[in-house]
Amino acid sequence: MPTGSWTRPYDTGPSRTLTGVARLVAAVAGLLPLCGAGLAGVGPAGLVAVLGFVLLWEATVWRTFGLGVSVGDQGVKVQMILRTTVVPWASVERAWAGPATGYDAWAIWISTSGPVSEVETPIWRRGSRSRARHRRKLDPVAFAALLDYLNAEAARHRGTLPGWQISPAG
């Protein structure tokens, strides 16, 4: 994997296509107020307000549909609506499942050795009763597979495997 590239280590299934279509529709719909303001002959102050709304809308659409966890040579990238956190592989201690903050759901958490000891991801196990829409929900098998993958990748980048220490020859 070349430096700078990020991949999603899980499959969102047919929802990936639906997400792309929804992103496109939402982005185009966000331009409607700007078009309406132009046709209505709104003054400069109104146009600035509408333009501000459109920019905020487009940024929110982009961030909402970009939620998830990506991995790359640099580490694990956790994308939430308001923030993106990159946890370097050297700082990843483990990935684990725990209760989501403020919801009746199970989320994937990443324990780190950095200044922030735990990072909650937007990945939830499907089947919870919560109706939060700003999360990626995986079926239990894919959820467990993602946990295993994150822990295996962390061990690989640290040069350790569970129960084994890999030391350089010399």
- Tell me: the pLDDT tens digits for 81-128? 888 999 999 899 999 999 888 888 899 999 998 777 899 999 888 877
Question: Are residues 59 and 76 part of one domain?
Answer: no
Average pLDDT on 22-51 reads: 77
Residue 88: CATH number of its domain: 2.30.29
Question: Are residues 43 and 122 part of one domain?
Answer: no
The whole domain housing 145 covers 68-159
Beta bridge partners of 87: 76
Residue 76 has a pLDDT of 94
Question: Are residues 112 and 72 part of one domain?
Answer: yes
Q: How many CB atoms lie within 10 A of CB 123?
A: 26
Going from the C-alpha of 144 to that of each of 7, 21, 22, 95, 167, the distances in angstroms are 18, 28, 28, 10, 29
Q: How is residue 94 written in tokens?
A: 């483990």
Question: What global pTM score does this model have?
Answer: 0.72
Question: Are residues 43 and 92 part of one domain?
Answer: no
- Which of 49, 65, 81 lies at the terminal end of a domain, its last residue? 65
* 7 falls within a domain: no
* 6 falls within a domain: no
- Tell me: the pLDDT tens digits for 143-166? 999 999 999 999 988 876 555 444
Question: Are residues 124 and 85 part of one domain?
Answer: yes
Question: Are residues 113 and 85 part of one domain?
Answer: yes
Question: Are residues 80 and 20 part of one domain?
Answer: no
Amino acid identity of residue 119, one-letter, is V
> Looking at the 3D structure of the chain, how many domains does it have?
2
* 170 falls within a domain: no
* 58 falls within a domain: yes
Question: Are residues 19 and 59 part of one domain?
Answer: yes
Q: Show the beta-strand stretches assigned E in 105-153.
A: 106-112, 118-125, 136-138
